[in-house]
Homo-oligomer: A and B are copies of this chain.
């Protein structure tokens, strides 16, 4: 894929929702925005990490906030580019590339819209290889890249720049601003040189999203199992097949937090799976024992279509297959686990390492 066209957006949105591990925002919203931007500005050039010049100025952009809110409060087209240009102005640098801060849902497609609007190439990479709920949870943190200066913009035209002593302060101040802005805002963060991007980002994200989407689509068309195609591509495993029997969800401190309970069907009849989430799925417990956890990916897929279901889309009676897939290996380093392992989220649990 050398450029992203209107025809690619469906597969990218579908694959991004899988990597979103339940979070990353409703991919439908991202697809609407990207579609509108590509219609107006034409296709977006996609460049691989090794093509990015060492001195390039790479600005990742993302939506920040509660996915439950994004469904009702759509971002404006103007807002998409504003975060990036505000940060570039503060840095006094000319912006050369847009990148994805996270893979997943709306946040794989927002950068497509931003790149189209600003007439810039998009880097085929992201900062996580999945979605995580807090700003500091990106691999660039492990490489000493700072979250700030970062910018934040809302759909009303309010914007700000934060320059903090560490990434946790960036998360805290930006989270409060996001809440004031109505629980969803656009940010640009982890400004990087091309050199830093090549070290710290996960390569091939948009290509992977498009592949995952195409695999599931092709499987459906050929009456094959789309879930199997996704599991296979991610070198993951099926955790559980069942029916949603309970969802508890609260939009608190700017996040969608909660848990979902699935009663097993098919080969899992008689068992129960509990999913605990903060925007993204964090821990999966089968009959009381953790069977998967962050930093690995836990994804909820529709049992029939293989389409990902986000945490805000979970509903009573849905028939799902829950899968797990290994995260980028750097997430399993001590620094990675400290940043985004189960203990950070308050679970007294070492990360469950999937059999590979």
Contacts and interface: CB of A to CB of B under 8 A. Distances in A.
A222 interface: no
Contacts of A162: 158-160
A224 interface: no
Given A90-B90, A160-B160, A173 B165 contact: no
A169 B165 contact: no
B169 A173 contact: no
Contacts of A158: 162-165, 169, 173
Contacts of A76: none
Contact of A169 (B156, B163, B172, B176): B156
A157 B169 CA distance: 10
A163 B159 CA distance: 5
Interface in A176-227: 176-177, 179-181
A107 interface: no
A86 interface: yes
A161 interface: yes
Contacts of A181: 173
Contacts of A180: 172-173, 176
Contacts of A173: 158, 160, 177, 180-181
Interface string A80-115: 000000100010000000000000000000000000
Contact of A160 (B156, B157, B163, B179): B163
A86 B163 contact: yes
Interface residues of A, number: 20
Contacts of A90: 90, 161
Interface string A294-309: 0000000000000000
A177 B86 CA distance: 19
Contact of A161 (B161, B164, B165): B161
A176 B177 CA distance: 7
Interface in A244-268: none
Interface string A138-181: 00000000000000000011111111110001001100110111
Given A90-B90, A180-B173, A165 B156 contact: yes
A159 B158 CA distance: 17
Contacts of A156: 165, 169
A142 to B, nearest CB: 22
A178 to B, nearest CB: 10
Nearest to A90: B90
A172 B161 CA distance: 15
A161 B172 CA distance: 15
A85 to B, nearest CB: 12
Interface of A: 86, 90, 156-165, 169, 172-173, 176-177, 179-181
Given A158-B162, A173-B180, A173-B181, 6 more contacts: A86-B163, A156-B165, A158-B163, A159-B164, A160-B163, A176-B180
26 contacts: A86-B163, A90-B90, A156-B165, A156-B169, A157-B164, A157-B165, A158-B162, A158-B163, A158-B164, A158-B165, A158-B169, A158-B173, A159-B162, A159-B163, A159-B164, A160-B161, A160-B163, A160-B164, A160-B173, A161-B161, A172-B180, A173-B177, A173-B180, A176-B176, A176-B177, A177-B177
Chain A to chain B: the 8 pairs with minimum beta-carbon distance, closest first? A176-B176, A160-B162, A161-B161, A158-B164, A157-B165, A159-B163, A158-B169, A176-B180
